[in-house]
């Protein structure tokens, strides 16, 4: 079945077991990254051909290559190689939205069969290596099968979160010209049912590249099936052959595209490649969660985000882990659902977002007390800075002060976790992501663009050298990749985040320094939201800023200038219409919590909106608005303050 490439034997540490070992490995990873990653890659993965060089990089071009010349298939590493040793072990536990419906345990043997069958269905539909496949699905097992089936045949998956609107879906399908969509008839989210297929149908009116649509059955609600284009997935899988030879991929062949918002209107299709992504997500999964054989691991993210790609699917499966996929929401049927699921499946590692923690912390503690949470060993958070209060609530009530909290900082662009404590090794500190993982060299930049050497400092967070899972490009726009990440600080990868480093060298990520706002852990670019609002016939111009929100982390505050003819309209109705347009263009997640109508916006002479001022007004920080003398229209500031919400 699998042919293992013979390497000479080394002794590397794949699994870090003491703080001392972490420091030794960290130093080695920085001084000799090629030796460090070369040894880990050799010992712990299945390659069809060895590499000729571990890493070649140039941040000026920029060009980054890991394990060049090597060949592999990531699904052989995530599935096939486990079949001899743990074929009957559960790979995926599927926990449905409705707790009355039984959970499903999918073994590695079954996963192999399903992925192979779906891979063969894709092939029958004409999908070939390098083709783009859009996956727009709820959190059901078919979503994991579809992702892995693409990887099996070398097709590039582009998973679009199933909460996105038809317009957002169409934009993403068209950007990388997908030839096929895999979706479902509908999805369950708490008490709601969503007609996913209807959203796909609407999107496809604008997507000429799509030749076929595969539809998984979930809700059984009636859907339109376009003859010649749409096919039910189940009967095709039923008929398909249950073995499919893995496509042998070059380490640098693309594995997937995942879109993330940018500060200009268009989403960025971050491109990840096979070899480095596999090595880094597997290594970080093992260490950041200290996963042991037999453990049950649960990440509550959706596979539509990078967290789900790296730490529900690829990282855990590459380690032969048992990973739980949850279809539902934390509040259904009640606010104890997470804890009920933890107790029911004996979850050992639990990974969620601060926004979920804050939402649950608002509810009665009875919800947590009702369930036996003693199986938990490690708690994780990701997606945004965690505030002190939420950190302690999580630590006290979920971890019983007995489970280290790993505050993991990373991005869609980084592919895997870059800064995080290693549980039981790194002493944790509330709100701090603490120390860089092996291979990661963080640098703080001062105002002048120079690296800050000392501790107890604050600056813009850059990374000085590549790690295996850094995104290689933006699909179809390498120039934008360069401009966004490698131009602000030449020779460095710029994260877009601000951070501070304490007296011992621990990092705390303070938040975005660009125009991306994180609402409930979702990255929202202000530009696409403004573009959407401006489509309203009564709207002349708009500007969005974030303001602190005790559950969502940040919420959106919109300043809207109406056209002359719009100014006489009912503002309550206008607010509803504006949020409706946002819902249609982006999704309900991007709705504005506050809308202030204004005759003008503070602008510089070159016409740039001074968001700094708008942010301060939205935050109600009025005593120090900074320099307003460069404004074209300084009078507007008083007006905005008087009418603030």
Which residues would be at the binding site for ligand 7RM (CB under 6 A)? 260, 305-307, 382-385, 407-412, 433, 495-497, 509, 511-512, 518, 523
Write down how long the chain is: 645
Which residue number, 201 or 407, has a Cβ lying nearer to ligand 7RM? 407
- Rounded least distance, CB 485 to ligand 7RM, Å: 11
CB of 355 to ligand 7RM, least distance (A): 11
Q: How far is it between the farthest Cα atoms of the chain?
A: 78
Q: How far is the CB of 457 from ligand 7RM (least distance, A)?
A: 17
Q: Which is nearer to ligand 7RM, 186 or 468 (CB)?
A: 468
Assign 3-class secondary structure to 208-219. Answer: CCCCEEEEECCC
In the bound complex, what is the minimum distance in angstroms from residue 431's beta carbon to ligand 7RM?
8
Three-state SS at 58: strand
If the CB atoms of residues 310 and 542 are measured against ligand 7RM, the closer one turns out to be 310
> Given the complex with ligand 7RM, which of 383 and 436 has the nearer CB atom?
383
DSSP 131-173: -EEEE---SSHHHHHHHHHHHHHT-EEEE--TTS-HHHHHHHH
- The reply to whether omega before 464 is within 30° of 0 (cis) is no
Q: How far is the CB of 536 from ligand 7RM (least distance, A)?
A: 28
C-alpha dihedral sign at 16, 17, 18, 19: positive
Neighbour count for residue 164 (Cβ, 10 Å)? 23
Q: What is the dihedral of CA 41, 43, 46, 51, to 10 degrees?
A: 50
Torsion angles phi and psi, residue 36, rounded to 5: -55, -55
DSSP state of 300: -
- Give the residue with the Cβ less far from ligand 7RM, 214 or 509: 509
Q: Least Å distance between CB 122 and ligand 7RM?
A: 27
Q: At its nearest, how many Å lie between ligand 7RM and the CB of residue 117? A: 31
CB of 351 vs ligand 7RM, minimal distance in Å: 11
Structural tokens at position 51 = 């590499």
Residue 596 C-beta: closest distance to ligand 7RM, Å: 26
Hey, which residues does 66 pair with through a beta bridge?
55
Q: Which residues contact 381 (CB under 8 A, 6 or more apart)?
A: 351, 352, 353, 354, 357, 391, 394, 405, 406, 407, 408
Least spacing, CB of residue 260 vs ligand 7RM, in Å: 5
| 3-state SS track over 220-289 | CCCCCCCCCCEEEHHHHHHHCCCCCCCCCEECCCEEEEEEECCCCCCCEEEEEEHHHHHHHHHHHHHHHH
Least distance to ligand 7RM, CB of residue 520, Å: 11
CA distance 526 to 517: 7
Minimum CB distance to ligand 7RM smaller for 383 or for 459: 383
Q: Where are the alpha helices (DSSP H) in 33-82?
A: 33-44, 74-78
Which CB sits closer to ligand 7RM, 38 or 439? 439
How many other β-carbons are positioned within 10 Å of the β-carbon of residue 8?
Answer: 5
Scanning the structure block, which residue is given the tokens 């590459």?
318
Q: In the complex, what is the shortest distance from the CB of residue 163 to ligand 7RM, in angstroms, rounded to a whole number?
A: 14
Task: Give the nearest distance from C-beta 48 to ligand 7RM in angstroms.
Answer: 30
| CB-nearer residue toward ligand 7RM: 71 or 523 | 523
Cα angle for residues 110, 285, 89 (degrees, 5° grid): 25
**Residues contacting 238, CB < 8 A, separation 6+:** none
C-beta closer to ligand 7RM: residue 383 or 439: 383
Task: Assess whether the previous peptide bond of 461 is cis (omega < 30° from 0).
Answer: no
Cβ proximity to ligand 7RM: between 260 and 319 the closer is 260
Q: Which CB sits closer to ligand 7RM, 184 or 411?
A: 411
- Cβ 378 vs Cβ 414: under 8 Å: no
Q: Rank residues 322 and 554 by Cβ distance to ligand 7RM and give the closer one.
A: 554
CA distance 592 to 544: 9
In angstroms, the CA 301 to CA 380 distance is: 12
Q: Which one, 112 or 512, has the nearer CB to ligand 7RM?
A: 512
Residue with Cβ nearer ligand 7RM (154 or 404): 404
In whole angstroms, the minimum distance from the beta carbon of 385 to ligand 7RM comes to: 4
């Amino acid at each position: 079945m699998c042919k293992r490439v013979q390497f000479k034997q080394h002794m590397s540490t794949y699994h870090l077991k003491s703080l001392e070992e972490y420091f030794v490995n960290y130093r080695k990873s920085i001084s000799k990254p090629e030796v460090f990653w070369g040894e880990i890659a050799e010992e712990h993965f299945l390659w069809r051909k060895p590499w000729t060089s571990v890493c070649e990089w140039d941040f000026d071009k920029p060009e980054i290559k890991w394990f060049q010349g090597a060949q592999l298939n990531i699904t052989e590493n995530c599935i096939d190689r486990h079949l001899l040793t743990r074929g009957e072990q559960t790979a995926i536990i599927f926990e449905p939205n409705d707790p009355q419906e039984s959970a499903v345990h999918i073994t590695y043997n079954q996963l192999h069969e399903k992925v192979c069958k779906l891979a063969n269905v894709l092939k029958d539909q004409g999908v070939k290596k390098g083709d783009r496949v859009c996956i727009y699905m709820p959190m059901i097992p078919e979503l994991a099968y579809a992702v892995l089936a693409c990887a099996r045949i070398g097709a590039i998956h582009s998973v679009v979160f199933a909460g996105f609107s038809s317009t957002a879906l169409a934009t993403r399908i068209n950007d990388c010209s997908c030839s096929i969509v895999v979706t479902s008839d509908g999805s369950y989210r708490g008490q709601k049912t969503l007609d996913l297929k209807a959203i796909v149908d609407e999107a496809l009116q604008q997507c000429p590249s799509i030749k076929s649509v595969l539809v998984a059955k979930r809700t059984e609600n009636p859907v339109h099936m376009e003859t010649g284009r749409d096919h039910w997935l189940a009967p095709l899988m039923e008929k398909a052959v249950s073995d499919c030879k893995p496509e042998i991929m070059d380490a640098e062949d693309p594995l997937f595209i995942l879109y993330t918002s940018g500060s200009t209107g268009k989403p960025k299709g971050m491109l990840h490649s096979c070899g480095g992504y596999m090595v880094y997500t597997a290594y970080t999964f093992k260490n950041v969660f200290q996963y042991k054989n037999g453990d049950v691991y649960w990440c509550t993210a959706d596979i539509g985000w990078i967290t789900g790609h790296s730490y529900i699917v690829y990282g855990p499966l590459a380690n032969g882990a048992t990973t739980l996929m949850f279809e539902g929401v934390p509040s259904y049927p009640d606010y104890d659902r997470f804890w009920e699921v933890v107790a029911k499946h004996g979850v050992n590692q639990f990974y969620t977002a601060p926004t979920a923690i804050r939402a649950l912390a608002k509810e009665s503690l009875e919800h947590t007390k009702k369930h036996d949470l003693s199986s938990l060993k490690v708690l994780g958070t990701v997606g945004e800075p965690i505030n002190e209060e939420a950190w302690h609530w999580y630590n006290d009530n979920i971890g019983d002060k007995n489970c280290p909290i790993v505050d993991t900082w990373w991005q869609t662009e980084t592919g895997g976790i870059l800064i995080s404590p290693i549980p039981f090794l790194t002493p944790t500190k509330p709100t701090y992501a603490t120390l860089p993982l092996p291979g990661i060299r963080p640098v703080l930049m001062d105002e002048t663009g120079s690296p800050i050497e000392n501790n107890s400092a604050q600056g813009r967070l850059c990374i000085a050298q590549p790690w295996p899972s850094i995104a290689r490009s933006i699909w179809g726009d390498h120039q934008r990749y360069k401009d966004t990440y490698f131009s602000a600080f030449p020779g460095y990868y710029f994260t877009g985040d601000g951070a501070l480093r304490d007296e011992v060298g621990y990092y705390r990520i303070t938040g975005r320094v660009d125009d991306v706002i994180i609402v409930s852990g979702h990255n929202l670019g202000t530009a696409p939201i403004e573009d959407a609002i401006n489509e309203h016939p009564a709207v002349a111009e708009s500007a969005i800023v974030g303001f602190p929100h005790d559950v969502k982390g940040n919420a959106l505050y919109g300043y809207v200038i109406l056209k002359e003819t719009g100014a006489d309209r009912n503002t309550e109705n206008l607010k509803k219409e504006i949020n409706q347009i946002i819902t249609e263009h982006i999704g309900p997640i991007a709705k504005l919590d506050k809308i202030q109508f204004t005759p003008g916006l503070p602008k510089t002479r070159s016409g740039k909106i001074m968001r700094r001022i708008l942010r301060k007004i939205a935050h109600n920080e009025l005593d120090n608005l900074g320099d307003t003398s460069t404004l074209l229209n300084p009078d507007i500031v008083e007006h905005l303050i008087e009418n603030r919400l």
